[in-house]
Amino acid sequence: MDLIRDPAAMRRWASEARSRGESIAFVPTMGYLHDGHLSLMRIGRARADRLVTSVFVNPLQFGEGEDLEVYPRDEEGDLAKCESEGCDAVFFPQPDTMYPPGFQTRLVTGALTTVLCGASRPGHFDGVVTVVLKLFNLVQPHVAVFGSKDYQQLQVITRMVRDLAVPVEIVGAPIIREEGGLALSSRNAYLGPDERSQALALNQSLALAQELFAAGERDPGVILAAVRAHIQAQPLGEIDYVQLVDAEELTPLYGPLVRPAVLALAVRFGRTRLIDNRVLSES
Ligand code: AMP
């Protein structure tokens, strides 16, 4: 496995692979890797000749007062996991090489980011799509894998690729959960024991919504009220948002649910902001 820190070297590595006729799968991450990330690598591995994972805590996507400085890092552990998943290269750049002096160009997202995390974290998705496009230009993947745990991010990147005719296939991957249902996240490392056990309410509330939907409930108000009540029963949880939105356009749904809908939520436990979601299905 090649460890590549320099963006120009990453681009050369990718160009050489392409010139040998090899296809490239890419998994961008912010590191502190867990089984959710590894599941994306397995999907990528199966879809191309070469697998590249990047580890980069991207300052552009963090707002003022967010957790950029304290975001968990474990370079040695991450490299070992990438190696054991059969990555051919790990791209591990630093902010000063990704954003050298004079860097000033950014992508701007649209309506998809006026809701959910986009509303709570202004500028976040502009930072995400900017770094993802730059990473795509360096890694030159044929296919890139993103988790549907970050449901809005997956939609925003899919749209960016479509809007700007970026020659990459975007593949969405299922949410990987711990036993008990908590979605794996690098930020779970921040949770204290009581917060962690109360955070199980997130997935439980999504299951509750799914049960109601499968039983025929189509009133968003009824489903949202049940979800909110379940989360609010946890004294340490503070709801940022709980919303039912159109599964593709992410527009909030107020009338009877007739189109595919996703229930998305963000809840704070102390300083930790957790997100989760579930696409509601008939059965
Ligand atoms: P992050 O390192 O948090 O930026 O995540 C990198 C990629 O891993 C993103 O595509 C995430 O959606 C994905 N990911 C994070 N957690 C999970 C999970 N529990 N299940 C599946 N994918 C995940």
Give, for 12, the enclosing helix (H) or strand (E): helix 7-19
Q: Are 29 and 54 contacting, i.e. CB atoms less than 8 angstroms apart?
A: yes
Pair type for strands 261-269 and 237-246: antiparallel
**Which of 41, 57, 150, 206 gets mutated to test ligand 1 (max ligand atoms within 8 A of its CB)?**
150
Name the H helices within 180-245: 193-198, 200-214, 220-232
Which residues, listed in sequence order, are joined to residue 239 by a DSSP beta bridge? 267
pLDDT tens for residues 154-185?
999 999 999 999 999 999 999 999 999 999 99
How high does pLDDT run on average in the chain? 98
Identity of the residue numbered 125: F
N-to-C CA span, the chain = 43
pLDDT of 31-88, one tens digit each?
Answer: 999 999 999 999 999 999 999 999 999 999 999 999 999 999 999 999 999 999 999 9
Please state whether beta strands 237-246 and 89-91 pair in parallel, antiparallel, or not at all (unpaired): unpaired
State in Å: Cα 171 to ligand 1 middle. 13
Half-sphere exposure in the Cβ direction for 89 (13 Å, CA):
25
**Predicted TM-score (pTM) above 0.75:** yes
Residue 136 near residue 143, CB atoms below 8 Å: no
Kindly state if the Cβ of 29 falls inside 6 Å of ligand 1.
Answer: yes
Residue 283, pLDDT score: 85
Task: Assess contact for 237 and 231: CB atoms under 8 A.
Answer: yes
Beta-bridge partners for 51 = 25
Beta strands across the sheet bearing 261-269: 237-246, 261-269, 272-279
Catalytic site positions: 37
Q: Is the CB of 135 under 6 A from ligand 1?
A: no
Indicate left, alpha or beta for 216 from its phi (over 0: left) and psi (-120 to 50: alpha).
Answer: left
CA-based nearest residue to 64, from 108, 131, 121 = 121
Please report which helix (H) or strand (E) contains residue 91, including its range: strand 89-91
Average pLDDT on 206-227 reads 98
CA 216 to ligand 1 centroid distance, Å: 31
How many Å apart are CA 266 and CA 17, to the nearest integer?
A: 40
